[in-house]
Chains A and B, each alone.
Chain A
């Protein structure tokens, strides 16, 4: 009972710290003493010190606890005092624990982190959770409540109940209820009805700890409780499965958008121009290397260098594409098999050139801060930002291209040339120029795809090869010359791949998809959305 009071007192102090950031009322000597107590070898002493530190109400208390947790609180052996420190060049960079004033660097051996065991760690976490429970920010309060799920500590439960009484945010209140209900499952003296109510209340929760708590009641003596637990577990599993499907779909969509990015340039060169460009993958690779080089040029600009890399990659790959068209493909129009061979040769040359210039080893590109992390929707379902951005980016590129082809003069001319070269020429369209520009456009988009891919995988000379067959499959599956077909094909293949993966493993999934497409093309040689009419039959 005494402890509860002590804890409540501590709570009040910490709350005041967190809420008002009021200046410390206690004298600073107090906290110095408490810190010195941490030098003790005994974990009990340390536990007492931690408690005291948490109770001190000092504005630095929270930061110091965190430092202790992260092993950044050191014993400075020379001065026999507690300091803050970070690893620096094989030694320690020391700071004053209260003022954070620079205390210089010392050798590695001159200082040692204060060790804590799991009990102390747990104690710190609980203390922090209690602080968090009273944080003015509702999201942090909710996070604190969730972090306490599974606890049996009566003090913490009391704190939770106390907070629940005052809580006016429904989502935080629900989280606290979950925590309390879980605790009710573990409690020995609770009566059956209370437990049944708790089970009923928990039956939709996705927290793994809740599931474990429920499972622990499966061997209950009361048949009604066993039945209730089974129903609850079933409901949880069903919900989890639903979210896992959503997760798979999300991964499928993100794979689909990668495929879309890789294939969309090909859809132009192959679909609109009828040119087989086996070097398409290497144009993607060039885009990825452009990203890498841009980051090398602006080492400090990881956050915004992508904005430079995208146009740069478009221009570089586009330029290489125009060169390929002018010097090779131009002479091979109407001979698709020869075009295939020649561009394959070009792909070998580009790969080898990159190997010679950048070394055959993979390079990695730094992901900007705003692209890392995830949007955690619930415990089993989160959307990672880089994939979200890739999906958005792929769709943007797709719509942009659609606009270019449908709304601009260039697009009109491209479509005219692709449908009837002779007539277009008769109308005064310079088909030479249009061919070069179209090919440049398709190649430029490959470059842009490379920028996106560089965020997901390592950048290496073989990057392009990994995507060329897949891209062709997407274009052929969707129907040549149909951008919407390409979109549909990319997403359906992406999703199909990810749906199969858990069943058969990644490699077999890929094989299944390939075999499916091989069979599909034989069933419908013109893809999902075939072009019809006389022109298509030539």
Chain B
């Protein structure tokens, strides 16, 4: 961090930080070519550069797969987009107007970015339905949730979504008691309930059976088009089955990008993967 950064007013006083206002869904301006613009992002932890001058664009409705060896910066990239980690340098815009580096996690989620974590993170003491209720798009202020119980339409939507992921019979079971695969599905369902514009999916098929993997692939392809979907996955076969465009990350920056076949034959990519 250089000296000028230290004295930037917005880094010192929250009050003068632009972008802390609540973003209403309508404020997302998708007029440009891309939905997500990440440009020259650098993140370092104690000198180690987790992301190094990363530039990445995601188009509306696109299904993008991100691959890369361990430590390539895939999770850190997700963290930057969702506001968990602030980049040291670079810009990250959602649509034309929303500067993600200036928004809180809550605002980013409210603006329409949903995330499914690597480890399934459902709320273990809530039932499956309650997990979806928590995820459901809509007003999320304290007063609203206090005085407005779920209406019939919302309850139907929850049931329908549970049905989509095959968990309708687990409607009233606490999520902590679900199997690993069921938790994965539940989390996917939660992301669906959020109705995000951009969906970040971190290793969705870990711990799933063959059939479940196929269903996941189908579901993700269905979602693309209406939503932009970014999938991080290790399983090459799975990626081949769904991918249109693949981005390879290595040491915090983009190594290669393009169609799956092209990327697979790229000598740089082969070296990184075989050299491991």
Contacts and interface: CB of A to CB of B under 8 A. Distances in A.
Interface of A: 532-534
Interface in B41-64: 45-46, 48, 50
Nearest to A536: B45
A533 B48 CA distance: 9
A532 B85 CA distance: 12
A534 B46 CA distance: 9
7 contacts: A532-B45, A532-B46, A533-B45, A533-B46, A533-B48, A534-B45, A534-B50
A534 B48 CA distance: 11
Nearest to B76: A534
Interface string B7-31: 0000000000000000000000000
Contacts of A532: 45-46
Main secondary structure of the interface of A (DSSP, over half): loop
B73 to A, nearest CB: 12
B5 to A, nearest CB: 16
Contacts of B48: 533
Contacts of B46: 532-533
A186 to B, nearest CB: 61
Nearest to A533: B45
Nearest to A532: B46
Interface in B122-180: none
Contacts of A534: 45, 50
Contacts of B50: 534
A534 to B, nearest CB: 6
Nearest to A535: B45
A87 B2 CA distance: 76
A533 B50 CA distance: 10
Contacts of A533: 45-46, 48
A535 to B, nearest CB: 9
B161 to A, nearest CB: 31
Contacts of B45: 532-534
A533 B45 CA distance: 5
A534 B50 CA distance: 10
B34 to A, nearest CB: 29
A534 B43 CA distance: 11
A336 B27 CA distance: 42
A534 B75 CA distance: 11
Nearest to B84: A537
A479 to B, nearest CB: 14
B9 to A, nearest CB: 16
A534 B76 CA distance: 10
Nearest to A531: B46
A74 B45 CA distance: 82
A31 to B, nearest CB: 82
The 6 closest A-B pairs by CB, nearest first: A533-B45, A533-B46, A532-B46, A534-B45, A532-B45, A533-B48
A534 B45 CA distance: 7
A223 B50 CA distance: 77
A373 to B, nearest CB: 49
B21 to A, nearest CB: 22
A523 to B, nearest CB: 10
B251 to A, nearest CB: 16
A522 B45 CA distance: 23
Nearest to B79: A537
A395 to B, nearest CB: 28
A81 to B, nearest CB: 86
A522 to B, nearest CB: 12
A532 B1 CA distance: 14
A482 to B, nearest CB: 13
Q: Which of B45, B48, B50 has the most chain A CB within a 10 Å cutoff?
A: B45
Nearest to B85: A537
A534 B71 CA distance: 12
A532 B45 CA distance: 7
A427 B45 CA distance: 24
Interface in B74-133: none
A119 B214 CA distance: 111
B218 to A, nearest CB: 34
A532 B48 CA distance: 11
B228 to A, nearest CB: 27
A532 B46 CA distance: 7
A469 B48 CA distance: 36
